[in-house]
Structure 1
Amino acid sequence: MRPALCSSTLLLLLAVGLHAADPKSKEVPAATIAKQVAESAKTKPPWWDQVTLDYPQTLDLTCPKGGAWNSSLVPGNWMWDIVNPNADKWKEGTKFWHFVLTNAKQKNLKDAEQQATMNLGHCYGDLLQDWPRAVYWYQQIEAQYGKNDNRTIDMANAYWRMGNRTLAVQTIKPIPQDATRHGSLIKLWADLGDYKTAYQMAQTRVAVGEDIAWFMSGYTAQLEGAWTKALDCFKKAEASDQKKSGRDWKQVKERATSAIQAITLFETLDLKRVPDGKFAATSTGYTGPLSIEVVVAGHKITALDVTRHSEKQYYAALDEMPAKIIAKQHVKGVDATLGATITAEAIVYATAKALNQAKP
């Protein structure tokens, strides 16, 4: 069960979403970012003393690799099956990996130390969105285990979320092409507002994976507000050839279909015509249908909640996307949560459906 989003967390998400998405926002200086990251390394998170270290005692703290999947024995499997899908366990999971790291260093368990370091980056970034601590752990991963495109993209996203677009651009600029499964690099360039780079990068992927290449081309055009271009790209993704596409071909086609339906709704949506009330709709998430309920009062979106879903690795999307939509008071130009893009898209598309179905 996902815990209710408290008002302080919602306000933080609103502030971060507005700052990161608004190109007119004044950048937070790089020196300030560096100071925040350094301070985070020296201090405990504010929730630390209120969270008990709680994990199955059957877990093997040496963090064995390979073998059969066993979430009662293998810490990484437990993280995936139990912690990631349950937001009320994210802090417990984070504290657990700190414990694993300390234990690994004391006993010279190199594999466990590496897994703990990697997972702390994941916990603070993907789950808790504690960006200074996320950057610190991404830096530790890079320093100890070398660079990796996915981690570099995560680092850039964290800099951007902390309010410095320049650092984000400098971080991902050396990566020549997007080789990620879901087009994460293309997405981040589009989120940063560099639509030309994002579109060009997406087009270079057509030859090796036309489904995700055309879908991300559509995502870029959608954020840019080029609706005709976006529709054309999504239709090409919907019609993509399985033999020329990746392993997520069926899912990408379903996402493209939802996007095509939603784009027409984006253009016609006018909150001034939406009466007060609660409205619900469903779209396609990563693992199945995702339903939302949106509340409108005085022609403003006052609340938005995901009421039903079967997502497992949704990370922060279930809270972050509603906060972004409420902040923007529209579904147009809302960038999706990195790492949980498909879940995030489903929330946006379902919200567009719900509001357009509302009758005065």
Structure 2
Amino acid sequence: MTDSSHTLPMDLTNHQQIEALGRRVLAGGQLEPPDVHWLFELRASADVYDLMAWANRIRERFKGRRVQLCSIVNIKAGGCPEDCKFCAQSAFYQTGAPRYGLIDFEPIRAAAAEAKRNGVLSLGLVAAWRGLGQGPLLDQVCAHIRAVAAMGVSAHASLGLIQSQAVADRLKAAGLVCYNHNLETSERFFPKQCSTHSYQDRLQTLHYLRQAGIKICCGGIIGLGETRADRADLALAIRQAGAQMVPLNFLHPISGTPYQHNPPLPPLELLQTIACFRFVLPQADIMVAGGRVVNLRDTQSLMFMAGASALMVGNYLTTLNQPVEKDLQMIRDLGLEPGQHADLQPAQATDTPQTQPVAVAPAATPA
């Protein structure tokens, strides 16, 4: 992307152009694709610091001082039939990750209770499978969602591809508030990440969710070998998808996956990525999720100054996070407040239960 396609005057310095774009966003404007690509292509550390300063202003303007906290629990692990190259739970790779079937409600209840004790009022139910269609499995998942909502915890989920509008409608009726389905990277780069389903399959799932009135959590993974242009196009695609929550994961290479030897990106480049997403998606919650501890290292607290407004706390699916207490202290030390946004409050089920949450998981076995 060259400056000739940029929408601002050519004679502005980088400092002036960043300021002009920041003021446009603060005034309620939207960046054009050439502007977005230009921001992602900035290289000088001084420019990145300018970018972060304006991203912080945008976060303050649209999200205030509140940091949305999210936690997850694996309700079905390992053995996924999809071949996503970054995933430790794919059946295509020998990673040593646990494998077990759909769990009963007790560990979910325990995870929800622990989340509440830590002031985290949302819990994401995550399953390693291709997706969800009509049938007994959907009945069981809906029972779990109803039970989480009954505890006063906002029920979220990440259950793969949604096979029909009727499935999305069932999830909504069970009390599901938010559904995570990441685009992962640009449409151009996606075929190099996965061959067992398409980018369009993912976009179709997002369409079903929007039609059902379920809030969309949609982000991606940084560090797959993508270009900066891929990151810019991912941000624009997520804006087009209408995501309210945007999780940014930073690749944590897992032994046994094709990306086990991928080198880490510089922390400042990751902070720049967060800031660029804030410029593109000023009113969304930008959540820093997987891989933040190992990739951001001592710069973790700067993620909020770069525009992040949400944080994944507790352990991830196959890797460890830092203690929740440490995250809460970091937030408070920065003069921010952990909290729950009004549009993600728990919802009550409106359907008729077809089953109770009683499915029992087999013992875990190595992947």
Q: TM-score range by the shorter chain?
A: under 0.3
Q: TM-score under structure 1 normalisation? A: 0.27
Higher helix share: 1
Bigger RCO (CA 8 Å, 6+ sep):
2
Q: Which has the higher strand share?
A: 2
TM-score when scaled to structure 2?
0.26
